[in-house]
Amino acid sequence: MGSDNQHKIGILGSGKGSNFLAIQNSIRSGYLPASVEIVLSDVENAGILTIAQDHHIPHHFVNPGRFRSRLDESAEAECIRLLRESGVYWVVLAGFMRVLKGAFLEAFADRIVNIHPSLLPSFPGLHAWEQALDYRVKYTGVTVHLVDRGVDTGTILAQHPVPVMDDDTSLTLHQRIQQAEWQLYPRVLKNLVTGRYSVRGRNAVLKEDHFQA
Ligand code: GAR
């Protein structure tokens, strides 16, 4: 890692975009030395695109094609083209609900980051907070990880625990997890874009955590 566009981020999301908003707010406050160059969504009316519009950030709906859980080849190629044209170094998944496949992973090898609403490797996949509630764990949490070919299996960069209360519903637990997400994602991105991570295989070591400063 040692590139002059390391501070340039592209965001992919399918939902309301609260993680993107937290990232954007961290940039505007001066905490996160980065810039969001482009926002892409596979959902035409996703809130994340509206937030991008409100913040005057280039944004596009990319029709995902015929598959439910991944992008088809032309959608993938379109995403790669748009991200490359915008000059981003990091691809940040913020509630993106499709699995990325070979061509995409190769185009941005070791530069794709995801946030997942559980303490991986527990509860990968969809609705992780509901999985945690069903299992009746006492703690779940948030994981930020690099993206590899598996589903939520990439090298873990950071995690934060979140307690599960006896009276939690799916809604209250996800809300508590999201509050942790809004803290953790900007912090990890700050350490990534400033080159503080040393990653060797599954071992991601933080040389110096700005959050402690
Ligand atoms: C977040 O909780 C994120 O962790 C989750 O989707 C939500 C998106 O919220 N992602 C996944 O479950 C990925 N498998 P947001 O649109 O408000 O950022």
The pLDDT value recorded for residue 4 is 78
Peptide bond into 121 cis (omega under 30): yes
Cα separation of 195 and 1, whole Å?
7
**Mean pLDDT (whole number) for 175-189:** 98
Selecting among 7, 59, 116, 174, the annotated active-site residue is: 116
Residue, of 184 and 213, whose pLDDT is higher: 184
For the domain spanning 8-119+142-161+182-210, the CATH number is 3.40.50.170
Does the annotation count 116 as an active-site position?
Answer: yes
**Residue 1 above 90 pLDDT?**
no
Cα 145 from chain centroid (whole Å) = 8
pLDDT per residue as tens digits for the range 45-88: 999 999 999 999 999 999 999 999 999 999 999 999 999 999 99
E strands, the chain, where?
8-13, 35-41, 59-61, 90-93, 112-116, 139-146, 156-163, 197-200, 203-206
pLDDT per residue as tens digits for the range 34-50: 999 999 999 999 999 99
**Residue 98 above 80 pLDDT?**
yes
Cα separation of 89 and 75, whole Å?
20
C-alpha 98 – ligand 1 centre gap (Å): 11
The pLDDT value recorded for residue 213 is 47
For ligand 1, mutation pick of 20, 39, 50, 178 (most atoms within 8 Å of CB): 178
190 CB neighbour count, 10 Å cutoff: 19
Q: Mean pLDDT over all residues of the chain?
A: 95
Q: What would the two tokens of residue 39 be? A: 């926002």
Q: What is the pTM of this model?
A: 0.96
**Residue 173 above 60 pLDDT?**
yes
pLDDT per residue as tens digits for the range 99-134: 999 999 999 999 999 999 999 999 999 999 999 999
Domain ranges of the chain: 8-119+142-161+182-210
For ligand 1, mutation pick of 11, 41, 115 (most atoms within 8 Å of CB): 115
Residue, of 102 and 33, whose pLDDT is higher: 33
**Mean pLDDT (whole number) for 10-14:** 98
**CA distances from residue 132 to 106, 142, 174, 194 in whole angstroms, order as listed:** 32, 12, 10, 33
| Ligand 1 nearest atom to the CA of residue 142, by list position | 4
Protein residue whose Cα sits closest to atom 5 of ligand 1: 95
**Residue 2 above 60 pLDDT?**
no
| Ligand 1 nearest atom to the CA of residue 117, by list position | 4
Closest of 125, 121, 122 to residue 99, by C-alpha: 125
The pLDDT value recorded for residue 52 is 98
**Residue 154 above 90 pLDDT?**
yes
